[in-house]
């Protein structure tokens, strides 16, 4: 695995998390509200926003949908 994840917070994951946070705040949602919409745990969503977790595509798309954007748009915002 190229991303040993002992090395957490890779710049890319931090960037992705930032994009999610930006969209969430723009939508005026709390982590808890977005977590509910995306059907994930609040604390898990928090970790994703901080770049502490390497999200799977399906989960990424759930979060994207909850933010009313496509997965592609989300990655684009994160410049990935």
Partner DNA sequence: TTGTGACTTTCAGTCCGTC
Partner DNA sequence: TGACGGACTGAAAGTCACA
CB nearer DNA, residue 44 or residue 71: 44
Q: Least distance (Å) from a second copy to the CB of residue 26?
A: 19
Give the one entry of DNA, a second copy, none that residue 16 binds, where binding means its C-beta sits below a cut-off of 5 to 8 angstroms depending on kind: a second copy
Q: For residue 60, which of 32, 36, 40, 30 has the smallest C-alpha distance?
A: 40
6 forms part of the interface with DNA (CB under 7 A): yes
Q: At 55, phi and psi to the nearest 5? A: -70, 145
Q: For residue 70, which of 78, 61, 79 has the smallest C-alpha distance?
A: 61
43 forms part of the interface with DNA (CB under 7 A): yes
What is the length of the chain? 80
- Among positions 11, 26, 58, 79, the unique one binding DNA when judged by CB under 7 A: 58
């Amino acid at each position: 695995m190229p991303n040993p994840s002992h090395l957490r917070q890779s710049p890319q994951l931090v960037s992705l998390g930032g994009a999610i946070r930006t969209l969430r705040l723009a939508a005026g949602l709390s982590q808890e509200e977005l977590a509910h919409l995306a059907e994930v745990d609040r604390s898990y969503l928090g970790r994703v926003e901080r770049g502490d977790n390497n999200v799977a595509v399906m989960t990424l798309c759930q979060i994207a949908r909850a933010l009313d954007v496509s997965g592609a748009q989300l990655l684009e915002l994160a410049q990935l």
